[in-house]
């Protein structure tokens, strides 16, 4: 999964992502997402199936 945080702050699997951050998440069986701030957050994700 490729993701981009366009607003706010999130924790994704324990890693803080802030506005403007990008992340590539591969081989993760579970995604745990928490909002890290009182303001709204927006996560844009491109979900793809990857065979391993």
Full domain range(s) for residue 17: 2-46
What total of structural domains would you count in the chain? 1
Query: Vertex 5, ends 11 and 36: CA angle to 5°?
Result: 30
Whole-number pLDDT of residue 30: 83
Residue 10 lies in a domain: yes
CA distance 30 to 20: 23
Tens digits of per-residue pLDDT, 3-52?
888 888 989 889 898 889 988 877 778 888 888 878 788 878 777 665 55
Say whether pTM exceeds 0.85. Answer: no
| Cα separation values, 30 from 6, 12, 26, 34, 40, Å | 22, 10, 10, 13, 23
Whole-number pLDDT of residue 48: 67
- 33-35/42-46 β-pairing: unpaired
Whole-number pLDDT of residue 52: 54
Whole-number pLDDT of residue 39: 77
């Amino acid at each position: 999964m490729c993701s981009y945080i366009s607003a706010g702050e999130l924790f994704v699997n324990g890693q803080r992502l802030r506005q403007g951050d990008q992340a590539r998440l591969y081989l993760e069986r579970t995604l745990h997402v928490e909002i890290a701030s009182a303001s709204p957050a927006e996560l844009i994700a491109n979900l793809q199936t990857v065979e391993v």
